[in-house]
Amino acid sequence: MSIDQPVAAQPFRAKSTLFFERYAAAEHQNVQMKLMIGLLSALVLVLFVGFVYLASRPKSIYYVPGATSAGISDPGIVPSASVRSFAVAWLMEWLNFTPDTVEGVYARSSKFMAPGMLAQVHARAADELEKVRRDRLSSVFMLSQEPQVEEDKGVFRVIFEGRRGVYMGKEEMSVESQRIILTVLRSAVTKENPFALSISDIRKEEVENGKS
């Protein structure tokens, strides 16, 4: 081989080119790391918000008939306050109606009647409902004092004092003081009646000058 024969040139990479390539790779890794950190931060934020929501959300409260304290229930025991609340709610529904609401009042109230009382009420319900609609009768009852609860061998008597007004259209027919006594029995829990209580009798007494 002649010494004058040209030698093939070897590839040459400048140091500046290597620097920029390494810089670009480092920037790419930096962007990927920032993206990963951003995603992790977002996930932590979502988990934190969810934890705060669950911690601050009001807890459901379930009433168990016979409960005497948190987590303890004595079967067969119904607090007087529960009987009073049940009886007040039922009576205020039963004695406050208009011609337009009376059918709904009867339907809702009948769910909480004992079978014997329901049979008696149902026997005359059609005539009474028709009279209310025909004569445009309305009833308003307001308590005048706190109801009293008496218990005898598992049977509750809830005594109400109040004033009841009966109206025909806009005309007042009567306003009188009344004493109303409800007999309340314990019953089985059903889907329609989850209170384990039922009304077995209602008795009304007129009161004159605040005295029986």
Q: 105 lies in which domain range?
A: 77-207
- Within this chain, do residues 85 and 174 fall inside the same structural domain, yes or no? yes
Q: pLDDT tens per residue, the chain (212 residues)?
A: 444 555 444 454 555 566 556 666 666 677 677 777 777 777 777 776 666 666 565 555 444 554 444 544 455 567 888 999 999 999 999 999 999 999 999 999 999 999 999 999 999 999 999 999 999 999 999 999 999 999 998 899 999 999 999 999 989 999 999 999 999 999 888 888 888 899 999 999 877 654 54
For residue 71, tell me if it sits in a domain.
no
- Within this chain, do residues 94 and 194 fall inside the same structural domain, yes or no? yes
For residue 65, tell me if it sits in a domain.
no
Assess contact for 66 and 78: CB atoms under 8 A. Answer: yes
Query: Residue type for 121, please?
Result: V
DSSP per-residue letters across 50-90: HHHHHHHSPPP----TTEEETTEE-TT---HHHHHHHHHHH
- Within this chain, do residues 117 and 196 fall inside the same structural domain, yes or no? yes
Question: How many domains, the chain?
Answer: 2
- Within this chain, do residues 84 and 189 fall inside the same structural domain, yes or no? yes
pTM of this structure: 0.63
